[in-house]
Amino acid sequence: LRHWLQEHRPQAWSETPAATRYHPSGGIEYLRHHELAQDPEFIERYRKANRYTRRRLAMLLLATAGIAMVYVGTRYLGWVW
């Protein structure tokens, strides 16, 4: 995936407006319509990687929220488990 991006990104992205290029969700949507992004394997791999990253981020956020709740509850609200 990294090699594919290194080879094809410059040509594909030189034509994208900056707002699209740097928008978090705008990049691949724009790239997909480009001739270089018609490779279904690439898009599938990108989606899969993105899904796992999002899932990991959500889990991290939930874990952090849980730890924060326990901390605040024990420290300031006097919960006893």
Residue 44, CA distances (Å) to 8, 10, 37, 56 in order? 17, 21, 11, 18
Q: Angle at the Cα of 61 (from 55 to 63), degrees rounded to 5?
A: 100
Helix, strand, coil shares of the chain, percent, nearest 5, are 80, 0, 20
Instruction: Specify the pLDDT at position 65.
Output: 95
pLDDT band of 55, cuts 50, 70, 90:
confident
- CA-closest candidate to residue 44, choices 34, 9, 52: 52
* Confidence band of 60 (pLDDT split at 50, 70, 90): very high
Question: pLDDT digit string (tens) for 19-54?
Answer: 555 555 555 655 656 655 566 777 777 778 777 888
Confidence of residue 61 (pLDDT cuts 50, 70, 90): very high
Question: Model-level pTM?
Answer: 0.41
